[in-house]
Structure 1
Amino acid sequence: MRCLDSFGLHTSSTPTDGVYPQPLRPTLAGQTSQFITSTPPPVAAPQPKVPSPVTVVEQAKRLAAWTAVDRHVHPEHKVIGIGSGSTVPYVVERIVAQGKAVNKDRVFIPTGFQSKELIVNAKLLLGDVDQYPMLDVTIDGADEVDRDLNAIKGGGACHLREKVLAEAADTFVIVADYRKNSEVLGTNWTKGVPIEVAPFAYAKVLQNLHLIGSPKATLRMATAKAGPVVSDNGNFVIDAPFPEDMMRDPYTLLTRIKMLTGVVEVGLFCHMAKAAYFGNQDGSVLIKWHDGRTEHVDSANSPALPLTDE
């Protein structure tokens, strides 16, 4: 028995042969009903994934991280700070490659959510700075490093905890790629000095930053949510660009900003790092030491293969 429905389409009072009945409403323009029949459409065979080539920048980050770990994370080091940023996964990778026997008695202290996840996923022992206020070594990334090893950090809004772990460590080492190496801070990193502030004080801090030399200081806004970036500590972050003449003396600038009421921490790390490792495009590694020395590790002597897990 066939009849017309309210749309003028033929319908049947008997069940169809398929699993699902034919649609009772007309299809929209460009649509078909092929996905509601008893026979599913053919599924295309999965295509094999082609691994993307490692970029020059990523290779540079890995070289810097591996070289720093090889030189500064020794078997006798038992409490290790793990920093934040895009170079740090290679730090953890190299530490894991030192082997289970070496790592089983170690404790790793994270600077934020990212490094905590790296430690947990690598099945390393997670600790906290409350338990271990004295660290053997902390390895961390940086947004920019100047000729005197002063650094800008805080692009990932972790600089408060990063600075705590840097100060707590006997040895603080920076790892980065060649783009982070400069003579004067603010040359390559132009977004400004990251400043973590108490939320209720951010407007006043902004006003004061404008007055002391950063008229373009702004509250950092989130990109995937409405509103400002909120740090792991529940604070806001201000990015404050300063002119070159002020950035040439970052320690003085740090003290001026830190004295502003409402400022929790400033992303200027001055007189803290023992060494900074920069991976270069040609496969070499540049090492800057705190005493002004520089060292080049050419590509032939740069680490090329992970250590064994024997």
Structure 2
Amino acid sequence: MPVNLAKESAANAAVDEQIHNNIHIIGVGSGSTIVPAVKRIAEIVHKNNLDLICVPTSLQARELILSNGLKLGSLAEYQELDLAIDGADEVDEQFNCIKGGGGCQTQEKLVAVCAKRFIVVADEKKWSPCLGTKWTKGIPIEVIPIAYKLTKKEIEKQLGGEVVVREGTEKLGPVLTDQGNFILDWKFDPLKIVNWFDVNRTLKLVPGVVETGLFVNMIYKGYFGNSDGKVEIRTNPTMSS
């Protein structure tokens, strides 16, 4: 499939460039693009006998690390990572991104913050001029269950738009994160957003909010694959090499 080829090409390009002898501890993200990335990491680690520790962003990532024979670490043990690699739901031209379509945004952000470099791998359709142009499901916001109605009301009051509780697809009721919290998806008008840093700060200050899926200017480099297997590498000009 073209999309799978695009994701695999992006993942391979990122891993081939970033995983080497000087990288010892990495963060491993969640989602479909990370599956080929971890497979490639395992190939390089086993081929070159690298001593690499992988810190997961979710239960899914944890199982992926173990099933590929890689060493497992945790944020409780390691708070300084050489690199974090993850997917994205959408990335804009200012290297802001939306994450959390899979509900792992809190652990993903914790891992990304601990990394010296945070890189994303995705298919080319995830690149857009501004957030909300292509990803229209809203920004995921993790909230404590008891506060979700209050939080929903307050976000709509302060920022407008619409906030919906993410519901499960296989069973009735809200989706639960790995931390046992609810997820709200805030649907907004992209044309009304001026500063994502201010938006993220406003969201974080709403009572009941645990974390947002807004990653504001955190990406060092993005690898975007297309249906032909070619990869476009974009580097954030605001971050030094």
TM-score range, shorter-chain basis?
over 0.9
Whose relative contact order is higher, 1 or 2, with alpha carbons under 8 Å and at least 6 apart? 2
Partners of 1:124 and 1:103 lie apart in 2 by 11
8 Å Cα contact 2:12-2:40 kept in structure 1: yes
The Cα RMSD (Å) is 1.5
Shift >3 Å, 4+ stretches? 101-104
| Superposition deviation, residue 245 in structure 1 | 2.8
Pairs within 5 Å for 1:1-310: 55-100=1-46, 102=48, 105-291=51-237
How has the CA–CA distance of structure 1 residues 102 and 78 changed in structure 2, closer, same or farther, with 3 Å as cutoff? Answer: farther
Q: CA separation in 2, counterparts of 1:280 and 1:128?
A: 33
1:292: how far off? Answer: 6.8
Deviations 1:19-70 (A, max 9, x none): xxxxxxxxxxxxxxxxxxxxxxxxxxxxxxxxxxxx0000000011111111
Note the C-alpha offset of 1:197.
0.4
> 1:101: Cα distance to partner?
5.5
Contact 1:148–1:292 (8 Å) recurs in 2: no
Report the residue type matching 2:108 in the other structure: E
Secondary structure class of the residue paired with 2:16 = helix
Paired residues, number:
239
Q: Distance in 2 between matches of 1:182 and 1:260?
A: 28
Q: C-alpha distance in 1, partners of 2:16/2:44?
A: 9
1:278·1:286 contact (CA, 8 Å) conserved in 2? yes
CA distance in 2, matches of 1:67, 1:271: 22
Larger Rg: 1
Classify the secondary structure of the residue corresponding to 1:67. Answer: helix
Corresponding residue SS for 1:84: coil
Could you tell me how far 1:72 is from its partner in structure 2? 1.3
Identity %: 42
Query: Offset of 1:181 from its aligned partner?
Result: 0.7
- In structure 1, the gaps of 5 or more residues are 1-54, 294-310
What is the distance in 1 between the residues matched to 2:48 and 2:209? 40
Distance 1:214 1:192 in 2: 13
- Scaled by the length of structure 2, what TM-score is found? 0.95
Q: Identify the residue that residue 52 of structure 1 maps to in structure 2.
A: none
Question: Deviations for 1:98-130, whole angstroms, at most 9, x for unmatched residues?
Answer: 142545521110000111111010011111111
Structure 1 CA distance, aligned partners of 2:49 and 2:209? Answer: 38
Q: 1:103 and 1:232 mapped to 2: Cα distance?
A: 32
| 2:132 maps to amino acid | G
Unaligned runs of 5+ in 2: none
Show CA shifts across 1:200-230 (max 9, x none): 1100000011112344210101111121000
Note the C-alpha offset of 1:249: 2.3
Q: Distance in 1 between matches of 2:193 and 2:221?
A: 20
Separation of aligned partners in 2, 1:83 and 1:72: 15
Supply the distance in 2 between the matched residues of 1:181 and 1:57 (Cα, whole angstroms). Answer: 14
Contact 2:161 2:189 in 1 (8 A): no
TM-score, with length taken from structure 1 = 0.74
